[in-house]
Amino acid sequence: MVQVRIWGSLASATDDQTEVEIEAGTLRELLDGLAEKYPGLKPQLDRGVSVAIDGKVYNDSWFTPIRPDSEVVLLARLRGG
């Protein structure tokens, strides 16, 4: 299981938890697992998120490996200027 930190305003979709556990070995499994376990997250996942894994930010590389002890943080989808 991977511990996933989500941002506060999403907690209404996760029974008020800002840390949730998902069974995932890759970024794709993580995103699919989140949507399945917490359907309320789906609108935001569809709008787009970035995911920080051990301090590095990933956008959409599905097969990025995630270790069980990785620090995983959901972020608003990054854009820049």
**Which residues contribute to the site for other proteins (CB under 8 A)?**
5, 7-13, 18, 40, 43-44, 47, 50, 52, 54-61, 63-64, 71, 73-76, 78-81
Residues 6 or more apart in contact with residue 64 via CB below 8 angstroms: 26, 27, 53, 58
In this complex, which beta carbon is closest to other proteins, that of residue 15 or of residue 63?
63
Q: Which is nearer to other proteins, 21 or 61 (CB)?
A: 61
d(CA 64, CA 81): 26
Question: What is the enclosing helix (H) or strand (E) of 32?
Answer: helix 27-37
Q: How far is the CB of 23 from other proteins (least distance, A)?
A: 21
Shortest Å, Cβ 21 to other proteins: 16
- CB of 22 vs other proteins, minimal distance in Å: 16
Are 76 and 50 a contacting pair, CB within 8 Å?
yes
